[in-house]
Homo-oligomer: A and B are copies of this chain.
Amino acid sequence: MEIITGGVATAKGFEAAGYEAGVKYENRKDMALVYSTQPCAVAGVFTSNVAKAAPVRWDKNVVTNSPYAQAVIVNTGIANAGTGTAGYNCCRQTAECVAQALDIPLDSVLVASTGVIGMQIPMEKIAAGVEKLAGLKEPGTEAGTIAAKSILTTDTVSKEAAVQFAVDGRTVTVGGMCKGSGMIHPNMSTMLGFITTDLNISKELLQEALSMDVQDTFNMVSIDGDTSTNDTLLALANGMAGNEKIINKDDNYYKFVEALHYINETLAKKMAGDGEGATALFEAKVVHAATKEEAKLLSKSVICSSLTKAAIFGHDANWGRILCALGNAGVIFDPEKIDIFFEGKDSAIQICKDGVAAEYSEEEATKILSEPEVRVLVDMKMGDAQACAWGCDLTYDYVKINADYRS
């Protein structure tokens, strides 16, 4: 597997575009299109929030019932959630515009929205945007980057990743993009994520690979504990790499799973590090837990703790808060067995040994905690399972951004 520069329009047959449709903001692109010249096997995972946005309900239907998908239309600014029947009709009209503009079936169009909850979509602007995007779409990494920029809201950087690997002597490309900065606590998916590949694979295996891998990647990210109404992760595979179709869990399937995992983990970490107001990516790795499930609960509890997140912002080695967060994870363990380490780029220190303070240099701890990626390692000394979760620090800017998000 080779890591390459690329995104959603890097795999063969995929095209992308971005456009400033004026949905809500000024002076920024707020709509994006991803299109495949060939029909795609499609898989998706969606928010567990009971108040699902209209596009989530639309996409679930497409993923479940359509023979294939061929386009994804995205808008930012307005989430089309809390919008009732009128909102669902807007979602359908948006898909109709795309189907007409690209001459593809209505049920092959996926829709994704992100932004304010409770406002209706301005259909005229969306319809005009779709027309423009249909004309602008292009294949290639540059077009993918434009699309990746066009789906951002409070994000400060765009998030893309791509890899290549060989199947039957054919080069397969997998690329992806995602956005997400606030209301990020994915459960069954991320805020908005899109993965494209020219691999030839059955819809069933594409869905299985996606559903399994999000458990260890996007679902291990939390920025603020709020699972959005709009979380959506879609994967489209158009088969243009020309490999023999993958219909069994053979070696080729696992090559794809490895590539998909790299894309998902890379995008998930980029999302965590770009959390609203964040100054640092905060990674919590739990090792020697009794079970994988417990390792996940423990690592997620650490990155979700507001007190721990604030301490990371303050570069304060307040490990007691980490112990407290572990204790709240819903896992039974012996606090007097726990070891805790902070790991920097070039050094690591132990700050807690057998549940009590270790001898360590506060200066060294502060130095490690001042790096842009802060890693805490927790040794449970219970078994062989491990898990990793990603979040970010809690800052003044998080409060600022969210105290007045609508204006």
Contacts and interface: CB of A to CB of B under 8 A. Distances in A.
Interface of A: 48-52, 79, 81-87, 116-119, 182-183, 185, 224-229, 304-307, 310-311, 313-314, 316, 318-321, 323-329, 331-333, 335-336, 352, 354-357, 394-396, 398-407
Contacts of A119: 357
Q: Which 5 A-B pairs have the closest CB atoms?
A: A117-B320, A314-B403, A51-B327, A310-B402, A49-B327
Contacts of A335: 50-52, 82
Contacts of A403: 310-311, 313-314, 316
A328 to B, nearest CB: 5
Contact of A50 (B79, B310, B319, B331): B331
A304 B402 contact: no
Contacts of A182: 307
Contact of A406 (B118, B225, B316): B316
Nearest to A312: B403
A118 B352 CA distance: 9
State the oligomeric state as a number of copies: 2
B307 A226 contact: yes
Contacts of A86: 356
Given A82-B320, A225-B305, A51 B326 contact: yes
A53 B159 CA distance: 43
Contacts of A357: 82, 118-119
Secondary structure type dominating chain A contacts: loop
Contacts of A320: 79, 81-82, 116-118, 229
13 contacts: A81-B320, A82-B352, A83-B356, A116-B320, A117-B319, A225-B304, A226-B306, A226-B307, A227-B324, A310-B399, A313-B399, A394-B399, A396-B400
Nearest to A403: B314
Given A50-B326, A226-B328, 15 more contacts: A49-B327, A79-B320, A82-B335, A84-B336, A84-B355, A117-B319, A117-B320, A117-B321, A185-B328, A226-B306, A226-B307, A311-B405, A313-B399, A314-B402, A399-B399
Nearest to A329: B50
Contacts of A352: 82, 118
A321 B182 CA distance: 11
Given A182-B307, A399-B394, A402-B314, A325 B116 contact: no
Which of A79, A321, A324, A394 has most chain B Cβ within 10 Å? A324
A118 B336 CA distance: 12
Nearest to A405: B318
Contacts of A327: 49-52, 227, 229
Given A118-B352, A311-B403, A325 B226 contact: yes
Contacts of A331: 50
A325 B229 CA distance: 9
Contacts of A318: 116-117, 405-406
Nearest to A119: B357
Contacts of A314: 402-405
Contacts of A306: 224-226, 306, 398, 402
A82 B352 CA distance: 9
Contacts of A321: 117, 183, 226
Nearest to A115: B320
Nearest to A394: B399
A314 B117 CA distance: 17
A115 B356 CA distance: 15
Contacts of A305: 225-226
B324 A226 contact: yes
